[in-house]
Amino acid sequence: MLWFDTWRIRRMLESQGIRGPKPRFLYGNAREMQRIQAISDAKKSEDDAEFVAHDYTSTLFPYFEKWRKEYGPIYTYSTVKKQHLYVTHPELVKEMNNQSVSWHLGKPSYITKRLAPMLGNGILRSNGHLWARQRKIVAPQFFMHRVKGMVGLMVESVECLIGKWEGYIESQGGNMAEIQVEEDLRCVSADVISKACFGSSFMNGKRVFTKLRTLQKLMSNQNFLFGSHMFGIFSTGQQKIIEQLEKEIESLIWEAVKERDGECFGGNKDLMQLILEGAMNNFNDDNVGDDVSNYKKFIVDNCKNIYFAGHESTAVAASWCLMLLALHPQWQARIRAEVDEVCRPNGCRLDADSLQKLKTTTMVIHEVLRLYPPAAFVSREALEETKIGHIVVPKGVCLWTLIPTLHRDPDIWGPDANEFNPQRFVDGISNAYIPFGLGPRLCLGKSFALVQLKIFVFLIVSKFTFSLSPKYRHSPAFRMIVEPGQDVCLCIRRR
């Protein structure tokens, strides 16, 4: 029955001129995806001559790139239980995302089911009215005026990192230090979100960070892109570890919530306090019979969502920023000139107002996120039959946009689309730039992430010069997000 439904949907897409690789009975194209990936992995291990190649899509997602070259920017393929529509046409991507406000498009159910231990049923995973309700409560806490109030704690955390790296230089002779930066950046990002979200209970937040990271590593061993639990299923032992981590994370978050019980929410409120207030008001106003367990689940799930999205993606983006700036020291120099221009005349400390003047730093960050967007995909499922541009998308079809491919389209970005060139953002951004998604499901933490990245880059570049260590090996890896496969190793010196 499932095979027949997939076949019927495929025929509906083919009748509209959409082609794709021929599926096999029961497995669709999943076996072919595995075969193409295995060939690509073998070739990569044999040919490691190129030091840094920014177009990594052909190694991380070789089946998508192979089919795109054969069938164009719109094609269809099948996995065990699903028919998929691959879309990298800019106008269709824009319309697909803008339609997410309706109940016709949502997050693919088979993927969100797998992510439940990490994200619960929070805003990153939910659809329809539940998603709209959560967005109503959570979104206002990430408006820019809220983020500006967090600049001080972000600066404080990055300054602690700078002190740590200065200590490395002293311990390695006082001139230069070789540093593996990724874990340090993760710790700083976790420190920021812990203090922003958990306030006085931020040590609980740090424990949540450690357990979420362990959970992420376990869950990234399965490849959900193949579309079925038959590929990359957890072992019984892994499943027990995942369940235990899930319980421990929820317990730590709820423990922090209970510490707020009876508190007077005055003065500066952290994210958890603000979400608690919004949830209490919303649950009471709706008068829909929500019980304590639903309220608890809402708070815990959305704290997990904020914590994962708030620290993981930002830390990875910061790693890519430093890697690219190490490769391009002329842009380090341009940022330092901006430091002198913005801060030195008045001896000002970096604050929300001075952040708005960082044009060069902002251009660099946009270019890093163009080449290395932490989120590799925009994914949607047609919950009802819907129309996107000229295409009628049948109910049940999963739509995929590979963001790095869209970000490297030479027709949009020019012949140097695979090169690092922040100057391309001197006049702002284009519609084909979607590292945070588009439309109503635009990442709620966009402003938070961009401000934190500006502070990372500004302060580190103002204090150090750095280059890539000879030990660095460029190997982007897809582990739910695109991150360095091996740590980013830098040689740093004081300015």
Q: Which helix (H) or strand (E) holds 78?
A: strand 74-78
Cβ atoms within 10 A of the Cβ of 4, count? 8
Quick check: 481 and 489 in contact, CB under 8 A? no
**Cα 72 to the center of its chain, rounded Å:** 26
- CA separation for the pair 54, 224 (Å, rounded): 24
How far is it, in rounded angstroms, from Cα 377 to Cα 403? 5
DSSP 200: G
List of residues 6+ apart from 336 with CB closer than 8 A: 461, 462, 495
Mapping DSSP to helix (H, G, I), strand (E, B) and coil, where does residue 233 land?
A: coil
Among 225, 247, 218, residue whose Cα is nearest residue 60: 225
Beta bridge pairs of residue 176: 493
Say how far apart CA 302 and CA 135 lie, in whole Å: 10
The residue with tokens 């997602």 is 61
Helix (H) or strand (E) holding 85: strand 83-87
In angstroms, the CA 467 to CA 457 distance is: 14
**């001129």: which residue's tokens?**
17
Tokens standing for 128?
A: 């329809």
397: number of Cβ within 10 Å: 23
Q: What distance in Å separates the CA atoms of residue 350 and residue 357, rounded to the nearest whole number?
A: 11
Return the DSSP state at 425: G
DSSP 253: H
Paired residues of 387 in beta bridges: 392
Provide CB contacts within 8 A for 26, sequence distance 6+: 3, 80
Q: Report the interhelical angle of 271-286 vs 236-259 (nearest 10°).
A: 90
Flag whether 489 is marked binding: no
| Phi, psi values for residue 493, rounded to 5° | -135, 150
The amino acid sitting at 74 is I
Pull the structure tokens for residue 186.
């993760």
Residue with tokens 């192979």: 66
End-to-end Cα spacing for the chain: 67
- CB of 441 within 8 A of CB of 97? yes
Cβ 321 vs Cβ 457: under 8 Å: yes
Q: Binding site for heme, residues?
A: 443
Residue set of the binding site: 443
